[in-house]
A = this chain, B = another copy of it.
């Protein structure tokens, strides 16, 4: 049994701090459950010694209850919380919800109090939600263990969508919007300060909860990246769609600032990557979260691909939906020739394109709408989703009755593909179609965007299935000191990243000899642990194409370094072959404090800074993951034969990403970050031209 089971399915519940006033925090849960008819045993507890509270026999202490208590709610003022919790521990309570606020959210003193609560729970093997929690709902048993006033106006409807949020207000808002829309919920929980139970663990619970088939969640911060990843993967493995909101910017902490990669990792790029890798959809608004969750709940599965067909009686709406689909990365392939021929036979005046505009004349053909939809869902048709735009016919249920029945039959015969109806309709029509697995949307654009989110989730999950976990052990050898470019490149070379045959020279003569050995022209750079940003002091000279030029550059670089940084230790001058072909890329490693080593990829030039055109992925990377990381950067078009240029060696690039990712995992506990900038991708191979490694 999952350790959170008594949270949602307790046989007996104590309400510590229960109030006779049904409007007070301590009174509301009791009122909600009495009104709703919760069937478990309820024990109000109040130190006042009242004989009964809201008509139920009350106790002065949880210890006085002549029965086992599985679930306790603590809603007493801060000074009494610790004692109440100790009594729960003594009583053998399994799970506790602490509604009382004034702990970790109030600064150091509150955090110390909160840590004492955690210690009590750990010692007793008791689980805790909160403190500062708003409570939870289990509509299927009418267990309404919350003081949320959202229940004053709205009775929850039982359903298949589970909801876990950190913030109570966020939970109430989602609960309220869902319930107003008639969406049924399986479980709802707000985790508050998350001193023990967090949203990730609730997702883990919902992933194995048989009544929950779709999971919604909202996080403000994640403390345990491993737990979140593992819960999301469990949900994906169980075939349950997960729609998440992550609110606010990431605090990447001090370690991140060490590299350029780290600074780009702020602002949620890492969360985006982790969610995608775990097959979850990140929603940007409450409405989007509910749209996709409801779509998935009605469908009962995800769309099998990202190809859509559109059947419409209105050319304009068809074009609008096609525009929306293209923006959302859905594709609109044409129908197969056979189906086109059948459609021509059915509707001779219409051109069987996609979108397929039947025009209003389809209504003159007996069973025309249903037969058109049936044909467009024929086995040869490529569409994972077919949209049928039916205007406002759902507002005339009688006129729609025959078509409604036919749609339900067609859906039954196409249980793996999605048939989505876009129309204005009465609630009854929407409900009947929904029960048959046919989602109905009023707004065409929202319909397309919801399918796009769900279909993308399906693709992400197919990619997850193809991925093989090959765990890499942490290295036990300490990394050497890495203070200069030469040292960084030496280490990367050991990690399998191609570098140039370079040499750190300590005299002009040595520099000339090195340049001759590698072939002119060459590049010369100052080597000093005290000058990390070489270009700022003029410490790099390019295109040296003669002995004289090399010798002169040696002297110039030393003198510039002495002028600009008189105290700098100078190791000499690095001589390297000059690379003039290829495309510059940036490869980075960011040691995320929550999610561990993350790989970053972007193109050189202005694309990273100006357009934030970079992507992140968890290390280690497989070949396929490395190629996907590259592809997810828009500017990677420059590597694929841009405007007639020779294509870059993508296998060499992905190999470098993969090797660096393995290195990043092996030394995850020692590395703070790595920037390879640039890594030049050539027609044959690729090479690191400059690198910075930051050790913790």
Contacts and interface: CB of A to CB of B under 8 A. Distances in A.
A331 to B, nearest CB: 16
Given A154-B392, A247-B316, A392-B150, A606 B286 contact: no
Interface stretch (A56-64, A168-176, A370-378): A168-176
A530 interface: no
A408 to B, nearest CB: 21
Contacts of A642: 606
A166 B315 CA distance: 11
Interface string A276-320: 000000001111100000000000000000000000011111011
Nearest to A363: B149
Given A220-B316, A286-B320, A287-B443, 5 more contacts: A150-B395, A169-B391, A220-B319, A287-B445, A610-B638
Interface string A144-170: 000001101110000000000111111
A546 B497 CA distance: 42
Contacts of A314: 167-170, 173
A218 interface: yes
Interface string A631-672: 000110110001100000000000000000000000000000
Contacts of A442: 177, 180
Interface in A5-60: none
Contact of A445 (B167, B218, B285, B399): B285
A684 interface: no
A245 interface: yes
Contacts of A248: 316, 319, 323
A577 B446 CA distance: 56
Kindly list the 8 A-B residue pairs having the minimum CB-CB distance in the complex, ordered from nearest.
A169-B314, A153-B395, A285-B445, A167-B316, A248-B319, A170-B316, A287-B443, A176-B392
Contacts of A396: 149, 152-153
A399 to B, nearest CB: 8
A392 B445 contact: no
Contacts of A150: 391-392, 395, 424
A694 interface: no
A148 B173 CA distance: 38
A317 B167 CA distance: 9
Interface in A530-547: none
Contacts of A393: 149
A99 to B, nearest CB: 12
Given A180-B442, A391-B169, A285 B324 contact: yes
16 contacts: A154-B392, A165-B316, A169-B313, A169-B316, A170-B316, A172-B392, A176-B392, A176-B395, A176-B424, A220-B315, A285-B324, A285-B446, A605-B606, A606-B642, A607-B610, A610-B637
A443 B635 contact: no
A444 interface: yes
Contacts of A149: 391-393, 396
Interface in A246-286: 247-248, 284-286
A692 B220 CA distance: 54
A399 B152 CA distance: 11
A167 B168 CA distance: 46
Contacts of A154: 392, 395, 424
A315 B443 contact: no
A170 B443 CA distance: 12
A180 B177 CA distance: 18
A634 B613 CA distance: 13
Contacts of A611: 607, 611, 613, 634
A285 B323 CA distance: 10
A424 B178 CA distance: 11
A444 B288 CA distance: 11
A248 B165 CA distance: 40
B395 A443 contact: no
B284 A315 contact: no
A51 to B, nearest CB: 30
A607 B603 CA distance: 13
Nearest to A637: B610
Given A391-B150, A611-B611, A177 B287 contact: no
B446 A287 contact: yes
A689 to B, nearest CB: 19
A638 B167 contact: no
Interface string A392-413: 1101100100000000000000
Contacts of A637: 610
Contacts of A446: 285, 287
Contacts of A170: 314, 316-317, 320
A316 B172 contact: no
Nearest to A320: B247
A194 B315 CA distance: 16
A177 B200 CA distance: 39
Interface in A554-604: none
A513 B285 CA distance: 68
A437 B245 CA distance: 32
A154 to B, nearest CB: 6
A174 to B, nearest CB: 10
Contacts of A220: 315-316, 319
A6 to B, nearest CB: 27
Contact of A605 (B166, B176, B315, B605): B605
Nearest to A603: B606
Contacts of A392: 149-150, 153-154, 172-173, 176
A173 B317 contact: yes
Contacts of A177: 424, 442-443
Contacts of A315: 167, 169, 220
Nearest to A268: B323
Nearest to A150: B392
A385 B638 CA distance: 43
Contacts of A319: 220, 247-248
A218 B444 CA distance: 15
A248 B314 CA distance: 13
Contacts of A166: 316
Nearest to A180: B424
Contact of A638 (B218, B324, B606): B606
A247 B315 CA distance: 10
